[in-house]
Amino acid sequence: MDITYPPEAQAFRYRIRAFLAEHLPPGWPGPGALPAAEREAFGFRWRRALSANGLVAVSWPTQYGGGGLSPIEQVVLAEEFARAGAPERAENDLLGIDLLGNTLIALGSEAQKKHFLPRILTGEDRWCQGFSEPEAGSDLASVRTRAVLDGDEWVINGQKVWTSAGLTANWIFVLVCTNPGAPKHQGLSFLLVPIEQPGVEVRPIVNAAGHSSFTEVFFTDARTGSANVVGGVGNGWSTAMTLLGFERGSHVATASIEFGRDLERLRELARKRGMNTDPHIRDGLAWCFSRIQIMRYRGYRGLTLALNGQLPGADAAITKVIWSEYFRRYTDLAAEILELDALGPAGPGNGGARLVPEAGTPNSAACWMDELLYARAATIYAGSSQIQRNLIGEQLLGLPKEPRREARQG
């Protein structure tokens, strides 16, 4: 594999560096160093700067208002933003631009693209994801939320849970059952539903760290237009799998940079606490370094697939297992370094951990424990590690499907 970048990609890299130098203040530590109110204000200003320079939806074709960047340019941009500690997007943009937007471009009707894509770009429509349901575990196809066609509208009843960005969203894409008599995977449809209506209620879920990163969403005779089905009625499962392919591989290009930055933070914590000579801690840090190198080359693998016009597919499951289990392991190591201080974490917090800790996140016990608690979910959301390993075994290695246990009688 040739891992050198062509001259045109390097020229684009210099353009992005110039943009960052112009729009970030000198000595920029990263958004994680800002108080919550300042971080929110920075986020609004930063999104306007990205939009003015065509850097909001860089992967979208220009005909839909995107940057039309090649896959290699997208990786270069992501690398430079990660190195500078600059966010590429707002939280709702991950769901609206990277996930739903790319799914609409791949599977949506022309009418859906014309209506929704510009509104996603401007930030007028802010999206969240409605897949998981109570008591369903990791079985994404175990859907009880029903949608019934009533004239030219779908009427929706049910509940979704573990919904990211639900408190700031005004639209939700939802996996619903539209044909309860069909086999489980064939009776589902993928609907686009407005949140700001009487039939939708969003409630925050307070996590173990005291933050509300997730919500639960209740539908009581909620309505959406009959045309707001992506991929066709009864094709919700394949549409959801397309979207999850974008989710599981969405930060493959920058995971090694972002986690590498946080590994330096972890090494500094070990030095400050005089544990950088402890053999066990050193072994853990070496393990972390080796996994970051694996992530780096997985990133090159993802770029190669994109350059060949291939979607991530089941290959993204490998990347998801690697980074999510790394996230848990290195936050466990932080707790070992903190020792008893992990039980009563002090110091400045970060207002709730992120998928990957932001640049500038304080090196405090409070922040590390926030991250540790958030990392518990990393091997569950977007498909648990067990589900990912089934995908790897069955779809990539050609192994037989896991046998289903027969229901016990009596």
Alpha helix positions (H), 273-314 = 279-307
* Distances from the Cα of 272 to the Cα of 29, 266, 277, 343, angstroms: 20, 10, 11, 18
Question: In sequence order, what E strands does 153-284 have?
Answer: 153-164, 171-177, 188-194, 200-205, 214-225
CB 45 within 8 Å of CB 31: no
Q: Which residues of 205-223 are buried (b: 16+ CB within 10 A; e: fewer)?
A: eebebebebbbbbbbeebb
DSSP three-state, residue 262: helix
Catalytic residue annotation:
247
Span 195-217, pLDDT tens digits: 999 999 999 998 776 777 789 99
Would you state the CATH architecture of domain 127-236? Beta Barrel (2.40)
Q: How far is CA 182 from CA 227, 341, 405, in A?
A: 21, 54, 22
pLDDT for 254 equals 74
In contact, 332 and 61? CB cutoff 8 Å: no
pLDDT in the model for residue 247: 66
Helix axes 71-84, 279-307, angle to 10 degrees: 150
pLDDT of residue 1: 63
Contacts of 20 (CB under 8 A, 6+ apart): 80, 81, 84, 86
Q: Indicate left, alpha or beta for 27 from its phi (over 0: left) and psi (-120 to 50: alpha).
A: left
Q: pLDDT band at residue 171, thresholds of 50, 70 and 90? A: very high
* Distance (Å, whole) CA 294 – CA 100: 28
pLDDT confidence of residue 355? 53
Q: Do domains 127-236 and 249-396 have the same CATH topology?
A: no
Domain boundaries, the chain: 7-88, 127-236, 249-396
Confidence at 248, pLDDT banded by 50, 70, 90 = low
Percent of the chain residues past pLDDT 90, beyond the cut: 48
Name every residue whose Cβ is closer than 8 Å to that of residue 169 and which is 6 or more positions away in sequence.
Answer: 92, 95, 126, 127, 128, 195
Homologous superfamily in CATH for domain 249-396: Butyryl-CoA Dehydrogenase, subunit A, domain 3 (1.20.140.10)
Mind listing the pLDDT tens digit for each residue in 7-52? 888 999 999 999 999 999 888 888 888 877 787 788 888 888 888 8
* pLDDT grade for 164, boundaries at 50, 70 and 90: confident
Residue 192 forms beta bridges with which residues?
173
* Model pLDDT for residues 101-148, shown as the tens digit of each residue: 999 999 999 999 999 999 999 889 999 999 999 987 777 888 999 999
More confident residue, 92 or 370: 370
| 13 φ/ψ angles, rounded to the nearest 5 degrees | -60, -45
Count of other CB atoms within 10 angstroms of residue 28: 16
Q: Summarize the confidence of residues 62-73 as an average pLDDT.
A: 87
- pLDDT tier for residue 410 given thresholds of 50, 70 and 90: very low
Distance CA 27, CA 43 (A): 18
Residue 8 CB coordination number (10 Å) = 12
Q: What is the pLDDT of residue 140?
A: 81
Mean pLDDT of the chain: 87
> Has residue 359 got a pLDDT over 80?
no
- 254 versus 86: the higher-pLDDT residue is 86
Write out the two tokens for 150.
Answer: 């009533």
